[in-house]
Amino acid sequence: MSWKHFLPTVLAVFLTSFASHPLLAGTITLTNGDVIHGELQAVDKTHVLWKSDVLGVLNIEKNQVSQFSSNTVMPKVKSQAGTARDCSLKMTEEVERSCAAGLHDSQPLATLVAMKPLPPFSGDARFGFNRKDGNTDSADLDFAVNAQWLKEQLRHEVELLVESEEADGVVVDERYEANYQLNYDFREQWFSYTRLGYEKDRFNAIDEQYELGGGIGHRLNLDNQMRLNLQLGAAYLISHQPQDGTDNDLAGRWAFKLDWPIPNSKLTLFHHHELLWTAEDINNNQVESSTGVKVPLMGRLFSELRYDFDYVSEPSDDQRHADEEWVIAIGYEW
């Protein structure tokens, strides 16, 4: 599939999602009188995390908040009175809390911590493209979609990736990747997962690879808004190499995700990586990682600068061990 045929479909999906997303309905009033429309996202020890219709996600110091109203239901709220779940919050002079367990009380904003809720459907799409004309005519495309939807204790995750590079009309790099993961939250921070994956890279060490796996994971949401996701499991790999034929391997899998909205800024740092190693030889392994920073632009639009690194310990003949690139992308989140 050429990216020239793929691009119109991608743009159509992107614009449809953008046009159909509703505006947020809550308001927050600051001590200087400013009113910002949006919805409450979280409350940590020192800040209120507020998602604005226009300005994106804002970290606002608690002492700068005069009042707020929001339709957000917080899955967990901590205060001096204890911990409650599924709470609606609003603030006039103090924060009034109404929870599913029937707990109705009020307390100062300074004493309250509320966990960020997980929307039923969320995700983002990122697009990067550049073209150069001159001694060498080249075009680079980088497109990725990540989506997640919740149904009770089940979390469905989908990842799609397309990368393509042309030089003087000849495709010199082309990669496609698709992953689906079903997570079952059997405890508050623990989950099991089942995973299906496919990757095709015409110019790398492995031409095609299929993955079927499962394991266990642990999620952490720290008070400084840092989010961690750790996964450990096993995978069955079917790999086709251009010159060496097809290999079937049982492998271990380790995955790590870190996302940190930095307090007192609009930046979000992230680092995601995945490691696969065969059961027969731990030195036979593959690594994919992505590290970067995400910056809100306007509304749900954002920009992203990241460094991607892919490594294969045992490449085919005449292939490199590692591929790396810097990517600047524009994205939209929902």
Domains of the chain (ranges plus CATH)? 15-114 (no CATH), 120-333 (2.40.160.40)
Q: Is the pLDDT assigned to residue 175 strictly greater than 90?
A: no
pLDDT grade for 72, boundaries at 50, 70 and 90 = confident
Interatomic CA distance for residues 148 and 241, integer angstroms? 32
Cα distance between residue 51 and residue 100, in whole Å: 24
CB 276 within 8 A of CB 252: yes
The average confidence (pLDDT) of the chain is 83
**Amino acid 320: pLDDT:** 65
pLDDT of residue 151: 79
Tell me the residue type at 57: V
Which pLDDT belongs to residue 189?
Answer: 84
Name the nearest CA neighbour of 308 among 89, 161, 167: 161
Q: pLDDT: is 136 or 13 the higher one?
A: 136
Backbone phi, then psi, for 4, in 5-degree steps? -65, -30
Higher pLDDT, 195 or 114: 195
User: 175, 163 in Cβ contact below 8 A?
Assistant: yes
Identify the pLDDT of residue 117. Answer: 67
- Evaluate if residue 126 carries a pLDDT over 90: yes
What local confidence, expressed as pLDDT, does residue 179 receive? Answer: 96
The arithmetic mean of pLDDT across residues 107-134, rounded, is 81
SS3 percent helix, strand, coil of the chain, rounded to 5, is: 5, 65, 25
Q: 250, 321, 257, 328: which is closest to 289 by C-alpha?
A: 257
Q: What angle do CA 104, 107, 110 make, to 5 degrees?
A: 140
Mean pLDDT of 119-138: 78
Residue 89 pLDDT > 80, yes or no?
A: yes
Task: Give me the mean pLDDT over the 293-319 stretch.
Answer: 83
Rounded CA gap, 223 and 17, in Å?
Answer: 32
Average pLDDT of the segment spanning 266-272: 93
Question: Residue 161 CA to chain centroid, in angstroms?
Answer: 13
Between 89 and 152, the more confident residue is: 89
Please determine, for residue 53, whether its predicted confidence score (pLDDT) is greater than 80. Answer: no
Is the alpha carbon torsion for 27, 28, 30, 31 positive or negative?
A: positive
Q: How confident is the model at residue 295 (pLDDT cuts 50, 70, 90)?
A: very high
Tell me the three state secondary structure of residue 169.
coil
Contacts 24+ apart (CB under 8 A), 275-279: 276/211, 276/235, 276/237, 276/251, 276/252, 277/251, 277/252, 278/237, 278/249, 278/250, 278/251, 279/249, 279/250, 279/251, 279/252
Specify the pLDDT at position 153.
Answer: 78
For the CA atoms of 115, 291, 185, 38, what is the dihedral angle to 10 degrees? 40
